[in-house]
Chains A and B, each alone.
Chain A
Amino acid sequence: MPLPDQDVRGESDEDLLSYMSWKDHAALAKAACNEFYSRHVRYVFAVIQRSYGAALGERGVEDMVTETFLRVIERSGTYKPCGAAEADRQRRNALAWVGAIAKNLCRDHFRKPDTQLVLGEEEWGEGHDGRQAKVKVDEAVLSDDLKSVHQAMEQLSERDRTVLRVTMDYWDFGREHQRLPNDIVEDLARSFDTSPENIRKIRERAMRHVEKHVEASRKLRKGEKP
């Protein structure tokens, strides 16, 4: 264990998380917090911006990064080390834990009554095109079906993609033939400043678009007419 005035830059991520929870060694806990933050603020910012940037907006992403680190500091004592000696594995395990915290905070945020998501100034009508900001994706890591999903998502407006993206976080993969629970849709509708019917409509239309695109691509690969 380093003394409070010692340098913690050489400590592993898992040790830093442990020191962060040592309330009776305030100086060491603070040094560990600072080191953990400076090591990972870029990563946490990048993944939150990539996942929720369109919904949260620039300032919202910054606030969410801040909230995430606050919660990490608060909950650091509950982190379970992965048991591996390699620094890479420890770091990835720690960041997966940080990611779970960030994702939960985002889900909670979208359901708060005073949340206002950023979706541009467009109307929410059926014929609305929205903006077409592209998401850069390395297609080499995608299977044929996933490439089709990517192409279909690219064709969606930013608004429709954002609704699909955010509502996917509430999808329960353990259940068949489900629809999004009413309370979740109502909360999301409030955050998106629209009606629950509109949220469902946008989501269903976007999902149907993806489904048709995947189906057409499968036919093309088999040499059939789409």
Chain B
Amino acid sequence: MTKPSHPANAPKSGDTERLVEEYLRRSVQSIPQTPEEVAAAEAWIANQSIEVPKRLLAADPCVVPALRPSARAIPFPQAVSDVGQGLARAARDGKTITPDVEERMKRDREQKEREAKGDK
């Protein structure tokens, strides 16, 4: 039995994948990974009205982990009591920390660690 011949105009095996890959690169549907592809992407972007989401525009890249959906913001503890105010003052002025302030710091830290782990 003879093998059916490949039509003369049909792309050869693997050629279609190559064509699709080249198409994706040239039409900027594949993330550019060479300076030439970047140049083509920049030319394409220049003609588009791309609206960057506000969440990204407002982000501070050095704290971007806070943007992750899984991340939870942990508010900085507010100094509400006298001990808290003493702690804040000591931190600002660089003074010696008294034992009761130190105890409060320890409790606060343990509480925040528990909260961060999901315990209440």
Contact = CB atoms under 8 A, between A and B. Distances in A.
Interface of A: 30, 33-34, 36-37, 41-43, 45-51, 58-59, 62-63, 65-66, 69-70, 73, 82, 89, 91-93, 95-96, 99-100, 102-103, 106, 135, 137-138, 141-142, 145-146, 149-150, 153, 164-165, 168-169, 171, 173, 176-177, 207, 210-211, 214-216, 218-219, 222, 224
A92 to B, nearest CB: 4
B33 A96 contact: yes
A107 B45 CA distance: 23
Interface in B34-84: 34-42, 44-45, 48, 50, 52-53, 55-57, 59-62, 64-65, 67-69
Given A34-B60, A176-B14, A211-B11, A42 B52 contact: yes
Contacts, number: 159
Contacts of A92: 35-36, 38-39, 42
B26 A142 contact: yes
B46 to A, nearest CB: 10
The prevalent SS among residues of A at the interface is helix
A193 B107 CA distance: 46
Interface of B: 7, 9-11, 13-14, 16-24, 26-42, 44-45, 48, 50, 52-53, 55-57, 59-62, 64-65, 67-69
A42 to B, nearest CB: 5
Given A95-B38, A215-B9, A224-B9, A48 B19 contact: no
Contacts of A66: 56, 59, 64, 67-68
B31 A176 contact: no
30 contacts: A33-B61, A33-B62, A34-B60, A41-B59, A42-B45, A43-B42, A47-B45, A51-B24, A51-B29, A63-B67, A70-B61, A70-B64, A70-B65, A73-B61, A82-B35, A91-B38, A92-B42, A95-B32, A103-B31, A135-B29, A149-B20, A165-B29, A168-B21, A168-B30, A173-B14, A173-B17, A176-B13, A210-B16, A215-B9, A219-B9
